[in-house]
Amino acid sequence: MKSVLIFDSGVGGLSVYKEVAQVLPEQHVVYAFDNEAFPYGELVDDVLVQRVCGMVSAICNEHDITLVIIACNTASTLVLPHLRSLLSIPVVGVVPAIKPAATLSKSKCIGLLATPATVRRSYTHQLVKEFAPDCQVEMVGSTELVQMGEGKLRGTPVDKQLLKQVLSPFINKTDCIVLGCTHFPLLKEEIEDILGEQCLVIDSGSAIANRVVTLLKEGDQKTSLSKAKHLVFSSAPVKEEEALNQELEKLGFATINRAPIF
């Protein structure tokens, strides 16, 4: 059974899964997250590359993976060349949607909400230089919101006071902000409530899904018509994840298993 692998440090990549499922509802998916090393924004570069390449390669060796999605902005800014040299299948990364934000903005004052690591990366600053040279770009890096997205999917209420505090540099200043971390679309409703209708909130999810469709067609890969449940693996020992497993079941996933050793 041919599967698409979606990989992230945590559960943020499920926001990408939802977009992929919209355009490829029959496609079987393997979801893997490296929660043992979460959050990726706090890892040194070499360790991050080693972990992503090791875990993704191990899963590809055990399953019939036809395409890999690195559903993590922090990882995508570093690991894509390494993974593409290791694998013979397409590898799709996540790029902050700076270009569409710059195009859609009327005030030419846009925001980027990402992890501190993504905000620091020269890759991110090059995107701004290339696609938003005429814009003022306010960048905010937050690890707290990554944790908040993880918690929300496990049933923890969103701390709207903390969220408003993190978003304060954007309020009444930007007319478009980019969610540059796949965890943040999990909080999109709350973010939109705080920023108001005058601020457009965008992410890369639909663009990634469309890219996957194109690559599968180019490779003449048919979607899997199996009714088998999607698989999900975590790197840390499987603990009490009852709330998360309930959410995953709603999305068509089996119970979380331990990832293959890498």
Report DSSP state, residue 253: B
245 labelled binding-site residue: no
41 labelled binding-site residue: yes
73 labelled binding-site residue: yes
pLDDT score at 41: 81
Report whether 142 contacts 169 (CB < 8 A): no
Which residue of the set 72, 135, 176, 199 is catalytic?
72
Amino acid at position 1, single letter: M
Rounded Cα–Cα distance for residues 84 and 62 (Å) = 18
* Residue indicated by tokens 């501190």: 116
Question: Three-class SS of residue 214?
Answer: helix
| Domains delineated in the chain | 3-94+206-258 (3.40.50.1860), 98-203 (3.40.50.1860)
pLDDT score at 116: 92
pLDDT score at 224: 52
pTM, entire model? 0.92
Per-residue pLDDT of the chain (262 residues; tens, 9 = 90+): 799 999 999 999 999 999 999 999 999 999 999 999 988 888 899 999 999 999 999 999 999 999 999 999 989 988 999 999 999 999 999 989 999 999 999 999 999 999 998 999 899 999 999 999 999 999 999 999 999 999 999 999 999 999 999 999 999 999 999 999 999 999 999 999 999 999 999 999 999 999 999 999 887 665 555 578 999 999 988 777 888 999 999 999 999 999 887 7
User: How many Cα atoms within 13 Å fall on the side-chain side of residue 87?
Assistant: 27
The alpha-helical segments, DSSP class H, found in the chain are 14-23, 45-62, 73-86, 98-104, 116-120, 122-131, 144-153, 160-167, 188-195, 205-218, 242-250
pLDDT score at 221: 60
Per the annotation, the verdict on 72 as an active-site residue is yes
Which residue of the set 60, 135, 176, 181 is catalytic?
181
DSSP 55-76: HHHHHHHHS-EEEEEE--HHHH
182 labelled binding-site residue: yes
Per the annotation, the verdict on 181 as an active-site residue is yes
Rounded Cα–Cα distance for residues 148 and 146 (Å) = 5
